[in-house]
Every structure is written in structure tokens, then in C-alpha cells.
Structure 1
Amino acid sequence: IAYIDIETISSKKYRIYIAASLGFAQRVATALLEEDESDEETLVDMMLETTNLIVGSAKVLAQKTNEYAYNMFTPHFEKIGSFDLEHDEIKVLKIENDEMIIAIKEL
């Protein structure tokens, strides 16, 4: 589980969590690094990079309208394990038996 904090232009702060099953994290490593079996350190790096890519891409879209623009900070790795963190909204993406969670919490 990785997270990145954002702050809107109206000074609201949020934490965006990205969590993925081992299989989903490996899919990312395979797509970006062409590795079929990555070690734990590489998978952690992939989660941080995925978090940065998702929130960074959303930032580009949000900046097209000042209403939703925000600044983002450095992603951090929280833990390996099930997603049991407090959140306000959550979405789950599935590919076969692998899943990724995107959750948000107002700080």
C-alpha cells in the first residue's frame, strides 16, 4: 500500500491510497520493466511509481479547471498487507484475480 498527499487550491488536504494485490503489482512490473518475477523491493518501487503516475495524471486533468486543481507531494510506502486503512471513498479495479484499490481520505 502506497499513498500520496495532495492539497487543493482551496487548501483542503487529502491522502490518496493505492493498494494492489501481489499479482497486480507484478503485472505493473511486467508492463514497465518486462520482469516476470520481481523481488519485493522492485514491487514496492512499482507501487510508488504507480501512485505517482495515477495521481500525477489526474493532476494534469484537474488543472484544466481551476476548481479541481491541486498540488501533490512525494509518494510514500505504507505497508504490505490487506487494505484496512480509514478512507472516505474507495474504488476497486480487477483484472482476472488481481486487484488494485484507489481510496481517498480527507485529512
Structure 2
Amino acid sequence: MAVRLVWSPAAKADLIDIYVTIGSENIRAADRYYDQLEARAMQLADQPRMGVRRPDIRPSARMLVEAPFVLLYETIPNTDDGPVEWVEIVRVVDGRRDLNSLF
């Protein structure tokens, strides 16, 4: 069963920033990245624990790669077993950034 997927305000702003930045050079590429990131996020609704745990970034953080970007997210509740009620995408950033500096 699919779980609810929520985008934080920061993650929404990240998506817009990615789209505008890439779109200023190539609108088709911006559309493609946006669609790929959204599709990757939707996979979390069916497989919320598919990302790698990243407690070095934040105790409850998980990371899912859609190169060159990463989706940082949390599952609620934050456990490795039992049902997940929802997934919150917290940030969408270039994977080459210092991810620890985001929080």
C-alpha cells in the first residue's frame, strides 16, 4: 500500500531553484530533471525505506539518489520495521554539496 508523500517548503523551494537554474540554459533539460526527481520521489510512496540511512546528516535522515541530485527525506515513524505512515522529502540538493551543512 502506498504511503502519503509530503514535500517540505524547503524541498519545494529546492525544486523550483533547480528548475529555474537549469531552465535558464535549457528548458527541456529543466523539464527532464524535474520529471525525473518527481518520479524518483514517487517511488518512495511504494518503498519508503529504499533510501540509505544518513544519521551523519540528521538522526532520522534517509537519502535517495537521482544523480546528480539527492533527495533527503524522513519516514514517519522513523523505524526500520513496522508500517510507515508517511514520507517527508526534506531537501533536494546537488549530491556534491556538503550535506551536513544543510541542517
**Common fold: TM-score over 0.5:** no
Please identify the structure whose Cα radius of gyration is greater. Answer: 1
TM-score (norm: length of structure 2): 0.31
Which structure has more strand as a fraction of its residues? 1
TM-score (norm: length of structure 1): 0.30
